[in-house]
């Protein structure tokens, strides 16, 4: 009798154990199925939860090619940087960019193109969704570099206007239009300019995009303008955070000009017929129709939507824009001056106390050849490890550690033919940071 009871109790215990184990297994299986379903990258309707972020990252990871270790390069490892710089000197390792035809072929199937190129087609946070950004992108060549820049800054809730130089090769323009057609929020400007270096056409290209962007249904907060040799130093989330911290102010270089620059707006300039050159005439200009002195700055700006609207509505802004059309390199003083006029939204006062250099603004990080040197001797930055074009550093791999420790949103200039390693490592870094925002790689 006792033995029979003991057998029955043991059976019940085993049965309970089996039932518990089976239930646990069923629960884990259902949970796993739910996670897999929930983390389906092709079925994201809202911002992803934290559980799925690692899964999405592994699908969208951008890994630099070759044997270089980007993490070590970013941290400033001299040996790793030296290896990468030496690698650039080997002819067979030099970057060959994809041709316009290759992009035309790749974009015949837009869905496959976006997937293969690993675009992030969903918003990564509600904060980013609630703070859309507008981009004016002025380009003229190298379709691959444009596409890589677009991929680096792309978010489905932002809006992107592309201005191509009207005289760019037809194959280039066709490829750019093919790329933009694959996205609901990327478009080519409705009016294209024949851009001549240092002429009004460079400003007009941005104005054309600004006008189109104001007509879009996206309620963007800030505008950032870029060119084909730019690349971001921050993720979209970091850019949003930085723009919010401006509290409605604009950010750009704006300083009292050196005397040699004043001749740029002291005389009437013309673009010579049938050429791509601008020349000075002997006709002196009337004083500018603004209540402040002219300030020197940069073509690249970070401005509020209200500032952009004022460019087309405010009488002072409209008069100054008209006055500036026959001057030399107006892009390097127009924005800088308007940002010191009190009627312009997001302005800074015209007093010299509010002068701001390019190194202190957030719009663009640039290394000027004449200012490179030893930090211990007071230079603002070390020697460029790439090469120079028009006295501006085309960044090399050895500049990456310094760049990523600055507050700027973008840096200029990059050229994959000079050093593609630095661009690849930036791509790898930004993609990692987008999905791991709390991880410090330094």
Q: Give domain limits for the chain.
A: 72-253+346-435
Rounded to 5 degrees, φ, ψ at 190 are -70, -25
| Mean local confidence (pLDDT), 82-95 | 87
| Mean local confidence (pLDDT), 127-136 | 98
Quote the DSSP letter at residue 372. Answer: B
Closest CA to 416 of 389, 396, 388, 390: 396
Whose tokens are 């309707």? That residue is 45
pLDDT of the residue at 275? 84
Assess whether pLDDT exceeds 70 at residue 7: no
pLDDT of the residue at 4? 52
Assess whether pLDDT exceeds 80 at residue 23: no
CA distance 288 to 269: 15
Contact 265, 333 (CB under 8 A): yes
pLDDT in tens, 146-157: 999 999 999 999
pLDDT band at 376 (very low <50, low <70, confident <90, very high): very high
Whose tokens are 């700006």? That residue is 301
Assess whether pLDDT exceeds 70 at residue 440: yes
Contact 152, 75 (CB under 8 A): no
Strand partners, 224: 135, 302
Contact 139, 195 (CB under 8 A): no
Assess whether pLDDT exceeds 70 at residue 36: no
pLDDT of the residue at 15? 41
**And the tokens for 32?**
């796993």
Rounded to 5 degrees, φ, ψ at 217 are -80, -10
pLDDT of the residue at 385? 97
Assess whether pLDDT exceeds 60 at residue 3: no
CA distance 206 to 201: 9
Whose tokens are 């290896």? That residue is 83
Closest CA to 252 of 187, 192, 286, 300: 300
Closest CA to 367 of 352, 382, 346: 382
Instruction: Centre a 10 Å sphere on the Cβ of residue 297 and count the other Cβ atoms it contains.
Output: 27
**And the tokens for 320?**
């100054």
Q: What is the DSSP string of 150-192?
A: HHHH--TTSEEEEEE-TTS-HHHHHHHHHHHTT-TTEEE-SS-
pLDDT of the residue at 356? 98
| Mean local confidence (pLDDT), 333-356 | 98
Assess whether pLDDT exceeds 80 at residue 16: no
Exactly one of 332, 372, 374, 428 is catalytic; which is it? 332
pLDDT in tens, 202-248: 999 999 999 999 999 999 999 999 999 999 999 999 999 999 999 99
| Mean local confidence (pLDDT), 125-132 | 97
pLDDT in tens, 383-434: 999 999 999 999 999 999 999 999 999 999 999 999 999 999 999 999 999 9
pTM, rounded to two decimals: 0.91
Question: CA dist 225 to 92, 133, 203, 321, Å?
Answer: 35, 11, 11, 18
Mark whether 332 is an active-site residue: yes
């Amino acid at each position: 009798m006792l033995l029979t009871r003991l057998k029955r109790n043991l059976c019940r215990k085993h049965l309970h154990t089996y039932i518990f184990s089976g239930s646990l297994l069923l629960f884990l299986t259902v949970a796993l199925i739910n996670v897999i379903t929930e983390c389906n990258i092709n079925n994201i309707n809202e911002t992803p939860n934290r559980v799925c972020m690692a899964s999405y990252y592994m699908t969208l990871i951008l890994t630099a090619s070759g044997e270089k270790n980007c993490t070590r390069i970013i941290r400033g490892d001299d040996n790793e940087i030296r290896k990468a710089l030496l690698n650039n000197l080997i002819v067979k390792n030099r970057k060959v960019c994809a041709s316009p035809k290759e992009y035309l072929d790749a974009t015949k199937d837009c869905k496959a193109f976006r997937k293969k190129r690993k675009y992030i087609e969903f918003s990564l946070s509600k904060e980013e969704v609630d703070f859309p950004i507008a981009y004016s992108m002025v380009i003229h060549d190298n379709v691959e570099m444009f596409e890589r820049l677009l991929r680096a800054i792309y978010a489905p809730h932002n809006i992107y206007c592309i201005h191509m130089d009207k005289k760019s090769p037809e194959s280039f323009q066709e490829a750019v239009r093919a790329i933009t057609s694959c996205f609901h929020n990327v478009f080519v400007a409705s009016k294209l300019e024949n851009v001549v270096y240092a002429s009004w056409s460079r400003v007009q290209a941005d104005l054309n995009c600004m006008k189109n962007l104001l007509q879009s249904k996206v309620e963007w907060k800030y505008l950032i303008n870029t060119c084909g040799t730019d690349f971001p130093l921050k993720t979209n989330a970091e850019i949003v955070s930085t723009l919010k911290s401006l509290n409605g102010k604009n950010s750009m270089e704006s300083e009292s000009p050196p005397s040699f620059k004043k001749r740029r707006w002291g005389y009437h300039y013309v673009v010579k017929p049938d050429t791509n050159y601008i020349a000075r005439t002997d006709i002196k200009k009337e004083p500018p129709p603004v209540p402040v002195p002219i300030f020197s700055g940069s073509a690249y700006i970070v401005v509020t939507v209200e500032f952009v609207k004022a460019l087309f509505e405010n009488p002072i802004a409209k008069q100054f824009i008209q006055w500036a059309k026959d001057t030399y390199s107006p892009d390097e003083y127009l924005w800088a001056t308007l940002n010191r006029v009190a009627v312009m939204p997001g302005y800074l006062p015209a007093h010299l106390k509010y002068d701001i250099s390019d190194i202190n603004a957030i719009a663009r990080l640039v290394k000027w050849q004449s200012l490179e040197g030893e930090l211990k001797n007071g230079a603002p930055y070390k020697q460029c490890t790439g090469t120079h074009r028009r006295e501006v550093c085309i960044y090399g791999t050895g500049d990456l550690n310094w760049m990523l420790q600055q507050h700027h949103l973008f840096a200029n200039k990059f050229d994959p033919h000079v050093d593609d390693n630095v661009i690849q490592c930036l791509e790898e870094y930004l993609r990692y940071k987008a999905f791991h925002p709390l991880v410090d790689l330094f």
